[in-house]
């Protein structure tokens, strides 16, 4: 089946689903209180919604693959065992285990691989490839002993990350904390904010917040909790605030999570961590002396920095113009980026 034919088939399926749902809604007597007809119940069933979501996902992936092909890629069948992993992971450990991909394996066993993944040739060895996206499909193909259908296209690091992130947007199972970790991994690898924003299809302020979450919470804690698909931005920020405020509870929380094993869901492990922070943590003594540092410039006091258990705080002197404070706030992200580059350079110097 050609890409054009398959694209039309997906559009027809989605159109039929939407038409049937609209028809079911219009047939229901307004305010009648009557039970829904069997046809209406079928069209609003969770199973049908899941099928529709799957069809949309395949259609979106197909459109992305079509664009990659138009821009110079070509499809080939490759041995999954010979394809190197991506340098920047976007999922937690276990996402490619047999249990995690069982539905995909069943689907590919029955219908084959519908949409190709994307790989790029290695710069130093063009005969070898690195996965850009489609790792679950590749894992399923390897499980079934099949070749992995993939578009081969030369890409630099930044282009590969953007394509990897763009394909993520066509999936509905990448969780908020996995996106945070994906952004943080890019930051650590030295990608600029424009690339990170493009890979996640979001703005700088949102990316900064996501990186702060993943940078504040230890990786051991995040992987102990897991992807937590039902936990969104607000609750992760709540955990970050508690984690920062109550450092004495950190060891206890990690020990609790280590003892839960597989009997608790990812959401339950998150709730356990958060409740432990609330119930067992002891807040720092506000009367305890805090180390301070005064920032001076040309004999003028600009600000005072205090360091405490709840984090560092900067208080500007009354003589400092509000315009300067606003200017500094606008430059903070650039300053932070320069700091990270300096740290990376020092690390590279030590290694060499």
- Of 164-173, 176-185, 246-255, 318-327, the poorest mean pLDDT is in 164-173
Residue 242 has phi, psi (to 5 degrees) of: -70, -40
- Of 2-6, 69-73, 145-149, 283-287, the poorest mean pLDDT is in 2-6
| pLDDT digit string, tens, across residues 200-253 | 888 999 999 999 999 999 998 998 898 898 999 999 999 999 998 888 888 888
Average pLDDT of the segment spanning 330-349: 79
β-pair partners for 316: 303
What CA–CA distance (Å, rounded) separates 234 from 281? 21
Residue 69 has pLDDT above 60, yes or no: no
121 in Cβ contact with 131 (< 8 Å): no
pLDDT at 78: 92
pLDDT at 40: 40
The CA-based angle 134-140-142, given to 5 degrees, is 100
**How do strand 148-152 and strand 300-308 relate by DSSP bridges?**
unpaired
* Chain-centroid distance, C-alpha 246: 26
Average pLDDT of the segment spanning 178-185: 91
The CA-based angle 325-331-337, given to 5 degrees, is 140
210 in Cβ contact with 174 (< 8 Å): no
What CA–CA distance (Å, rounded) separates 235 from 195? 27
Residue 230 has phi, psi (to 5 degrees) of: -90, -5
Residue 24 has pLDDT above 70, yes or no: no
86 in Cβ contact with 164 (< 8 Å): yes
- Of 245-254, 291-300, 329-338, the poorest mean pLDDT is in 291-300
CA max distance for the chain: 81
pLDDT at 265: 85
- Of 33-47, 258-272, 287-301, 305-319, the poorest mean pLDDT is in 33-47
SS3 99: coil
Beta strand segments in the chain, E: 74-78, 83-84, 117-121, 129-133, 148-152, 292-297, 300-308, 311-316
pLDDT at 240: 93
Q: How many CA atoms lie within 13 A of 40 on its CB side?
A: 12
Greatest mean pLDDT among 33-42, 214-223, 275-284: 214-223
Compute the mean pLDDT over every residue in the chain, rounded to the nearest whole number.
76
| C-alpha to C-alpha distances, 81 to 85, 95, 139, 145, 240, nearest whole angstrom | 10, 17, 9, 10, 39
Q: How many CA atoms lie within 13 A of 276 on its CB side?
A: 18
Which region holds residue 145: left if phi is over 0, alpha if psi is between -120 and 50, else beta? left
What CA–CA distance (Å, rounded) separates 214 from 233? 12
What single DSSP character describes residue 38?
Answer: H
Where helices occur in 190-321 by DSSP H, the ranges are 193-200, 204-216, 219-225, 233-245, 250-258, 266-280
104 in Cβ contact with 154 (< 8 Å): no
**How do strand 129-133 and strand 117-121 relate by DSSP bridges?**
antiparallel
Residue 120 has phi, psi (to 5 degrees) of: -130, 145
What CA–CA distance (Å, rounded) separates 183 from 79? 29
């Amino acid at each position: 089946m050609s890409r054009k034919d398959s694209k039309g088939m997906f559009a027809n399926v989605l159109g039929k689903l939407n038409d049937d749902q609209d028809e079911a809604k219009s047939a229901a007597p307004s305010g009648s209180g009557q039970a829904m007809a069997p046809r209406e119940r079928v069209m609003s069933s969770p199973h049908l919604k899941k099928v529709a979501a799957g069809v949309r996902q395949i259609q979106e992936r197909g459109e992305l693959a079509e664009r990659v092909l138009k821009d110079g890629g070509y499809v080939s069948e490759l041995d999954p065992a010979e394809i190197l992993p991506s340098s920047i992971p976007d999922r937690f450990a276990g996402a490619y285990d047999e249990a995690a991909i069982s539905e995909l394996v069943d689907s590919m066993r029955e219908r084959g691989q519908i949409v190709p993944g994307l790989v790029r040739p290695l710069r130093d060895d063009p005969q070898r490839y690195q996965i850009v996206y489609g790792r679950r499909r590749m894992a399923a193909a390897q499980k079934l002993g099949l070749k992995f259908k993939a578009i081969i296209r030369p890409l630099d690091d930044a282009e590969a990350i953007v394509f990897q992130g763009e394909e993520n947007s066509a999936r509905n199972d990448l969780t908020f904390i996995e996106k945070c970790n994906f952004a943080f991994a890019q930051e650590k690898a030295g990608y600029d904010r424009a690339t990170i924003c493009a890979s996640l299809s979001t703005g700088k302020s949102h990316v900064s917040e996501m990186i702060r979450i993943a940078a504040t919470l230890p990786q051991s804690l995040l992987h102990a909790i897991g992807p937590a698909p039902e936990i969104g931005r607000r609750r992760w920020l709540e955990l970050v605030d508690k984690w920062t405020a109550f450092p004495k509870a950190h060891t206890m929380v990690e020990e609790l999570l280590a003892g839960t094993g597989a009997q608790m869901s990812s959401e339950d492990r998150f709730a356990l961590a958060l409740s432990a922070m609330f119930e067992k943590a002891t807040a720092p003594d506000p009367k305890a002396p805090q180390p301070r540092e005064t920032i001076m410039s040309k004999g003028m006091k600009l600000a005072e920095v205090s360091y405490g258990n709840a984090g560092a705080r900067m208080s500007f002197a009354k003589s400092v113009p509000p315009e300067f404070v606003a200017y500094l706030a606008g430059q903070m992200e650039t300053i932070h980026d320069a700091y990270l580059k300096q740290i990376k350079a020092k690390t590279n110097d030590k290694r060499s």
